[in-house]
Amino acid sequence: MLFEAQNRIFEKEGWMMRGGSIIDATIIAAPSSTKNATGQRDPQMHQTKKGNQWYFGMKGHIGVDAGTGYVHTVTATAANVHDLDEAANLVRVDDEVVYTDAGYQGASKRPEIASDEHKSKIEWCVAARKGRLKTMHPHDRAVETRKASVRAKVEHPFLIVKRDFGFSKTRYRGIAKNLNHLQMLFASANWLMRARAVALAG
């Protein structure tokens, strides 16, 4: 409720733009130890492999306003849920364009997006995979660079939550409680980014 109320304030004050979003996800580790009251790992957390490393925990998914970088949507899943599975839940009703990294290839073809009256009309600016970048024409690589500069805004709130607020591991058991915690953290990150923006403007 607090996160949603903050969104309303940001929109009312004109601090949140409309028409475009950036979406991304981050892995948040959970304790893998069974030395607890139940003698079990959190059953709602799962393993996933990123690169050559395995992680146990959850994912935090966010939708960020492409114009300002403020977070407008937060969801959470187990770590083994593919980023694409949450894509449709991170866009706003009036978004016309969505920027994503290469992990969201094929987003526009997902049934929950392709069959939706609004979401099917969104322009999905998905980053090209690194292997394809090498073979691109210089003009196309320049376009990819511009798209990457927009996507970079989504990394800032993740950085604040993980580095400034120290949220590198889950604090609670279960997805719901950790989602509530994430919503509080990203609401705080929005206020911090707003305060910094005002300080720079002043």
Estimate the share of the chain in helix, then strand, then coil, as percent rounded to the nearest 5.
45, 20, 35
- pLDDT tens digits, residue range 32-88? 776 666 668 888 999 998 888 999 999 999 999 999 999 999 999 999 999 999 999
Percent of the chain whose predicted confidence (pLDDT) is above 70 = 97
Give the C-alpha separation, 86 to 93, whole Å: 15
Give the C-alpha separation, 137 to 84, whole Å: 28
pLDDT tier, 118 (very low <50, low <70, confident <90, very high otherwise): very high
Mean pLDDT score, 155-163: 95
Lowest mean pLDDT among 33-42, 114-123, 177-186: 33-42
Burial 19-51 (b: 16+ CB within 10 A, else e): ebbbbbbbebebbeeeeeeeeebbebbbebeee
Mean pLDDT score, 154-181: 94
pLDDT tier, 168 (very low <50, low <70, confident <90, very high otherwise): confident
| Contact assessment for residue 100 and residue 87, using Cβ atoms and an 8 Å cutoff | yes
- Confidence at residue 37, expressed as pLDDT on a 0 to 100 scale: 65
Mean pLDDT score, 17-33: 91
- Confidence at residue 51, expressed as pLDDT on a 0 to 100 scale: 82
The per-residue pLDDT of the chain, averaged, comes to 91
- pLDDT tens digits, residue range 124-152? 999 888 777 777 877 778 888 888 888 99
Structural domain boundaries in the chain: 2-194
- Confidence at residue 6, expressed as pLDDT on a 0 to 100 scale: 94
